[in-house]
Amino acid sequence: MILRYALAPALLVLTFTGASEAQTTLSLEAVVNAAERHPSVDVARSRSAAAAGAIRTARTAFLPQVNMIAQLNRATTNNVFGMLLPQQVIGPISGPPVPENRATNVFGTAIGTLVSWDAFDFGLRQATVAIEEAAKRRADAALDVRRFELTTAAADAFLTVLAAEQQEKAARAGVERADVFLQSVSSLARAGLRPGAEEARAQAERAASEVRWIQTKQAIAIARAALSEYITTPDLPLDARQLLTATPSDTATGQITHPMLQEQQLAIEQSHARAKEIGLSTLPKITLQGTTYARGTGAHPDFTTGGPAAGLAPTFVNWGLGVSVNWNLTARHTATEKMHVEEAQEQGERARLATIQRELETGQRRALAALAGARQIAAAMPQQVSAAHSTEQQATARYRAGLGTISDVAEAQQLLTRTEIDDALAKLAVWRAALSVAAAHGDLRPFLDAAR
């Protein structure tokens, strides 16, 4: 429930599947929106629907029960004195005992209706409904948790693809610099101004730069494959201008409102509702009953029988009204033990709630620390990039002037490539840390607003 309202303003831009499929670029919002249509969300939604059905089923216990029966049989009429304990094998028979065993048989008919209504149960049925209502609320909260997990994972997958592309761009620039330097060294070697070994070294450095470039392209392919779990068009170009040109402000304020807390709180309520139902199950149940029935038989009280068709139709009618009190006096011991089980279960759920709260608070503190560090690194990177560029230009100029070695140039170019990659990743590291803060807090809306 929390996530549904938290993400609604941020996800209104792309509501339908067709909207995200028809676009030419892929935005962070589109990926997050698509994650809400993940098949596992349907699984959680079906559980919520099943829980709603369970509530409706439990409420039918408040309705009167109407049972009707009609029966036709042909059987012997031998009846005897004696008690027969309740069982399901020997059929009951009514009438006076017969003086001797005979094979005489007649038709018998019966038709009747019984209306039964549990008028008073001291809240037992309402307690059963309360259990199902708690289960429904918990299922809804579990649906919100699943949505939140998927949208957070989808946003992280988007940032992973973007980071891989930025690394590829810096690696490609390194290959281009290596190409230019190789051409320069080759020209000097052909003119006899540099030994051939230096040309070989330049070729090796160029090959190493290309390997790094290939590795970054491989990382992009893997990252986009992971992104395909959340959207069917993972190969579209990314629309990430805001993510590359700006850094986010605070993405979480106030108390933690993670949907996991709500789900766990509802787990406690569900356990408490079960304990209440167990306690009420030991009380008596008062049932109002009304019945009417008719019977027919071909047997007479004087041990004679009627004609061949006697007993084919009911001939005697009865009706009755009454109140029944059903009280299982031995159920209290069993209920007490069940109560102990539920109390232990509820204590465990409360301990789990405290554990989740502590884990989220710890995760938020870690995320805030990571965000602060990422901001400082991002602020320092421009100076480092500038210094790396100057180092590479000076090393190249000294080499061409015969004052430096090819190793100096190779090290300077490698340093520049690493620095450019670090610079490209620095801003994204801030966004990733901001996502972690929002995820720990339980609300992605500020993060998505900042990225829009």
What DSSP element (H or E) covers 198?
helix 196-227
- 3-state DSSP assignment of residue 36: coil
Q: Give the residue among 113, 81, 111 at the shortest CA–CA distance from 94.
A: 81
Residues 94, 140: contact at Cβ < 8 Å? no
Q: Which long-range contacts (CB under 8 A, 24 or more apart) does 269-274 make?
A: 269/134, 269/137, 269/138, 270/131, 270/134, 270/135, 270/138, 271/342, 271/345, 271/346, 271/349, 272/346, 273/127, 273/130, 273/131, 273/133, 273/134, 274/131, 274/342, 274/345
Burial of residue 271, with CB atoms counted within 10 A of its CB: 0-12 exposed, 13-18 middle, 19 or more buried: buried
Which residues, in sequence order, are bridge partners of residue 26? 238
Instruction: Answer whether 10's CB lies under 8 Å from 452's CB.
Output: yes
Q: What is the pLDDT of residue 325?
A: 92
Backbone angles phi, psi at 139, to 5 degrees: -65, -40
What pLDDT sits at residue 92? Answer: 87
Task: Tell me what pLDDT residue 193 has.
Answer: 66
Identify whether the C-beta of residue 204 lies closer than 8 Å to the C-beta of residue 12: no
Q: Under CATH, domain 2-37+126-272+335-451 is a member of which superfamily?
A: Outer membrane efflux proteins (OEP) (1.20.1600.10)
* Tens-place pLDDT, residues 235-281: 888 888 888 777 777 656 667 889 999 999 999 999 999 999 998 88
Q: How many CA atoms lie within 13 A of 451 on its CB side?
A: 30
Rounded to the nearest integer, the mean pLDDT of the chain is 85
**Taking a C-beta distance cutoff of 8 angstroms, is the pair 360, 258 a contact?**
yes
Contact present, 283 and 124 (Cβ < 8 Å): yes
C-beta neighbour count of 39 within 10 angstroms: 7
What pLDDT sits at residue 23?
56
Q: Are 350 and 307 in contact (CB under 8 A)?
A: no
- Which alpha helices (H) appear in 120-195, and where do they start and end? 124-190
pTM of the model: 0.76
The confidence band for 395, taking pLDDT boundaries of 50, 70 and 90, is confident
413 Cβ neighbours under 8 A, 6+ residues apart: 174, 177, 178, 181, 205, 209, 392, 395
3-state helix, strand and coil shares in percent for the chain, rounded to the nearest 5? 65, 15, 25
The distance in angstroms from the start CA to the end CA of the chain is 23
Residue 27: its H or E element:
strand 26-27
- In this predicted structure, the answer to whether residue 13 has a pLDDT above a threshold of 70 is no
* CA-derived radius of gyration, the chain: 40
Q: Which of 259, 63, 48, 62 is nearest to 133 (CA)?
A: 48
Write the CA distances from 170 to 23, 124, 396, 421, 424, integer angstroms. Answer: 27, 69, 19, 5, 8
Statement: residue 381 has pLDDT above 70: yes
Residue 192 has what pLDDT?
72
pLDDT by residue (tens digit) across 292-342?
A: 999 999 888 888 888 888 888 998 999 999 999 998 888 888 888 888 898
Dmax over CA atoms of the chain, in Å, equals: 140
Q: Is the pLDDT of residue 4 over 60?
A: no
Predicted local confidence at residue 17, as pLDDT? 38
The structure tokens 């001291």 sit at 122
Q: Is the pLDDT of residue 221 over 90?
A: yes
* Calpha distance 113→115 (Å, rounded): 7
